[in-house]
Structure 1
């Protein structure tokens, strides 16, 4: 074949038992000025050997060959995991066979009496194949990027939790201890003060100091909730109660049982999900009441935090800076769970679902007197 240096060389493996038809293919491609190199084989053994060499860009195969068909050759390539454009060139393939070949993954087919279109069919098959390979590479790169991003997110979450624990420990050991000591000293001075003005100042200082102690304890609980040692139910109930006291919003906590056998990492994910959802309620919802439903029925831990506020628009849910929700979704995925957020004009619901893998205990539902009726 004549070579044209301004065009890419296309190496074609031609599976054909007729030397005349092979010569016609060479002539047709020569007339179209395609820069190509043809290698002729006429047996499956030769076809497999040449295909395994990896030296070819495209297979051009006759359909009817002695003892086998072009589709048999296609199956050989497919079974060996060789991704190469495959074009059937036949004198009479039949519509049914042609449709079947295309469904099974053959790039294209062409009748031998349309040989003038051969170069176009080959170029199109090569372009489609390259596009598919480029997409596969892009998909692989995207999957790798997502994997590395998930690993980074997991590392960041672990680092954040460790940093929170360190800060909570410092607050408890240093700030908390210092405030408690100052309170004792002020109380000692206040008991020995007889002047009214001085006593009033001491009482005010003690009141502010008590407020600082309460704030430090609340910050410690938010940073590293030791109440999780008492179980997820107790932690969520404490979270709802403290949120109600802090914001004045009515909070109603429902649970399927008093104790739930939930792994520690899942407990932390559920706790942080409830914490973030309540934070969003306080910031954005303009709600008057919140419901928290916690269940471990049917081997799935489900946490739902819903409010009766103004809701969120679809754009707000999709906005690029919704890092809180994105972080919750990443946390859920790390424990093989998922997070759903739904919203309307009547409020927003954040739902976390995590399969417990048989670790959850059967739920014998026990109604608490405080669970009856409306929000409390």
Structure 2
């Protein structure tokens, strides 16, 4: 299938010391119906000057010229980072030299006795060049999109944490204060009556109130984990003990690090990852043992939450609704880390958070 001729006029820079060969080249393109303009140069200085002064669509270059070769011109163009297809058009280049030139980045080559094929080579070369440019632009656009997504995820996580802190303060100041006042009133009434029936109701009310106070404290701690101020290890111990108490699932925490004194964003990411993983385990894992391993060996924080449950199906992980795991992955990226998930029906599920601590400039032994 013949390539479709180009509609727009193409700008050709022809590196050729023979006027006759230049004229023959132009006639070959004209005969094939290529619309073009051509500028001929025959020295490296003139070649460089034209590259500076004008943007060309393609370079056609003789291989051997007085004092230099086409590869010298190619290297000069590459040094200038000029993105332009470069085709060697020569009667003296051998097969081995042509292949070596292609390996160096030359777009294509053609012997001068094959000029009837020149238009086809030009069309094909320009088509490949446009395709590569489109791929590079698509890759650049994808990188920019991923960067914007990462920035949005970081902003979203920051907003969520801010809202959580605000709700926790409201619970503490409003609900917590009201519950404490009711508790005092119940105690005041209890001290002023000996009626057994009233005492029984007061005790029941006090028990329910104590349960509400405990629930509000757990909610506040979950929303704004002040225990992180005591370090990541203390926070993970609090999560593990609370999870085991609520679910009766054996929960083991092992620590192979020194002090785990980390930047607050890293500690919060590790805490939220563990919190979300334990929530998913309680809902879906059907397991009997949970293991939490944490280490900062080698300047890398590694946190693994594993269970011996039924595992997660690949379809379940890919569901659009599984925002929890996606959110954890995005949160990990905000601190320069990543999240890995391994799962099988035989071994259960392991969620591993990895964060290189040298990517977090705030990492220090003093940061608690």
Residue 257 of structure 1 and its aligned partner are, at CA, apart by: 4.9
Q: Which residue number corresponds to residue 349 of structure 2? A: 348
**Native 8 Å contact 2:257 2:297 kept in 1:** no
2:78 aligns with: 78
Residue 107 (structure 1) shift: 1.1
Matches within 5 A, 1:130-169: 130-169=130-169
Preserved CA contact (<8 Å) 2:6 2:123 = no
Counterparts of 1:81-120 in structure 2 under 5 Å?
A: 81-120=81-120
Match of 1:325 in 2: 325
Matches within 5 A, 1:224-303: 224-257=224-257, 259-303=259-303
Equivalents in 2 of 1:350, 1:266: separation in Å?
16
Q: Residue 259 of structure 1: CA displacement?
A: 3.1
Residues 233, 258 of structure 1: 8 Å contact kept: no
Query: What residue number does 1:18 align with?
Result: 18
Kindly state the Cα deviation for residue 258 of structure 1 after the two structures are TM-superposed.
Answer: 6.9
Task: Work out the number of aligned pairs and report it.
Answer: 357
Q: CA contact under 8 A between 1:168 and 1:220: conserved in structure 2?
A: yes
The alpha-carbon deviation at position 360 of structure 1 amounts to 6.4
What does residue 36 of structure 2 align with?
36
Equivalent in the alignment of 1:216: 216
Taking the aligned partners of 2:327 and 2:103, their CA distance within structure 1 comes to 42
SS at match of 1:75: helix
Task: Provide closer, same or farther for how the CA distance between residues 22 and 6 of structure 1 changes in structure 2, counting only shifts above 3 A.
Answer: closer
* 1:75-134: CA deviation from partner (whole Å, max 9, x where unpaired): 111000100011111113112211111111111111111111100100111111111111
CA distance in 2, matches of 1:308, 1:328: 21
1:302 counterpart SS class: strand
Shift of 1:265: 1.7
8 Å CA contact retained: 2:150, 2:333? no
Q: How far apart, in 1, do the equivalents of 2:66 and 2:257 lie?
A: 73
TM-score (normalised: structure 2) = 0.93
Q: Distance in 2 between matches of 1:324 and 1:6?
A: 51
Counterparts of 1:185 and 1:287, CA distance in 2: 44
Q: CA deviation at 1:146?
A: 1.0
Q: Is the 8 A contact 2:6 2:34 kept in 1?
A: no
Shift of 1:6: 8.7
Question: Matches of 2:210 and 2:99 in 1, distance apart?
Answer: 82
Report runs of 4+ in structure 1 exceeding 4 Å deviation. Answer: 358-361
Alpha-carbon RMSD across the aligned residues, in angstroms, is 1.7
Q: Is the 8 A contact 1:260 1:360 kept in 2?
A: no
Match of 1:365 in 2: none
Q: Tell me if structure 2 keeps the 8 A contact 1:16–1:42.
A: yes
Q: Aligned to 1:96, what secondary structure does the other structure show?
A: helix
Deviation at 1:229, TM superposition (A): 1.2
SS in 2 for 1:89: strand
Aligned-partner SS, 2:142: helix
| SS of residue in 2 equivalent to 1:311 | coil
1:239-277 deviations in Å (ceiling 9; x for gaps): 000111112211111112573222222111111111111
Instruction: Give the stretch that moved more between structures: 81-90 or 193-202.
Output: 193-202
State how far apart, in whole Å, the 1-side matches of 2:254 and 2:58 are.
65
Q: Unaligned regions of 5+ residues in structure 1, if any? A: 362-376
Deviation, 1:66, is 0.8
Q: Which moved more, 1:209-218 or 1:323-332?
A: 323-332
What SS does structure 2 have at the residue aligned with 1:124? helix
Q: Deviation of residue 186 (structure 1)?
A: 1.1
Shift in Å, 1:54: 2.7
* Counterpart in the other structure of 2:8: 8
Structure 1 348/89 Cα, relative in aligned 2: closer, same or farther at 3 Å?
A: same
Contact 2:153 2:334 in 1 (8 A): no
Once the 2 structures are TM-superposed, how far is the Cα of residue 311 of structure 1 from its aligned partner? 0.4
